[in-house]
Amino acid sequence: MKLLVLTSEPVDAGTLRAALPDDLDPAQAEVMVVAPALQDNPLKFWMSDADEAIARSEEVRRRSLANLADAGVPAAARRGDSDPAEAIRDALQTFPAERILLLTHEREAQRYREDVDPEELEELFGIPVQRERVSA
């Protein structure tokens, strides 16, 4: 199975295992982690103050890749656009995912534009989308 994971926090095999159905083992999947460059608030987004968001995205990408490699999960990772739907669209150009997993914060801890609608994404891309909540 090809699994695309959109996350703003570093991901590990345990997180994937907990989010996936029992019959799916992350070590048996091809995983693409996409870390969108999400802003903390709308003001930073509209002022195009992206340096901090890009740096955080790079850290999430790097740590996720290391965590998954340590657990034997075949994975690639990339930074993504600040618009989660665009980040997914870009990744799907080179990674034909069969399933999308959104790892997002609870509403009060979300970054700007993090609360994407799984049903909307499923309709847009024609791929099953599942959302799981993570903590910072």
SS (H, E, C) 31-60: EEEEEECCCCCHHHHHCCCCHHHHHHHHHH
Residue 18, domain member (yes or no): no
Q: How many domains does the chain divide into?
A: 1
Residue 6, domain member (yes or no): yes
pTM: 0.87
Residue 43, domain member (yes or no): yes
By three-state DSSP, how is residue 78 classified? strand
pLDDT for position 107: 57
Residue-range definition of the domain harbouring residue 125? 2-13+28-134
Residue 23, domain member (yes or no): no
* Whether 112 contacts 8, CB under 8 Å: no
By three-state DSSP, how is residue 105 classified? strand
Q: Where are the beta strands (DSSP E) in the chain?
A: 2-7, 30-36, 75-80, 99-105, 129-134
Question: Which CATH number characterizes residue 127's domain?
Answer: 3.40.50.620
Residue 19, domain member (yes or no): no
One digit per residue, the tens of pLDDT, for the chain of length 136 reads 999 999 988 999 999 998 888 778 888 899 999 999 887 655 554 556 577 888 999 999 999 999 999 999 999 999 999 889 999 999 999 999 999 999 985 655 445 455 788 999 999 999 999 988 777 6
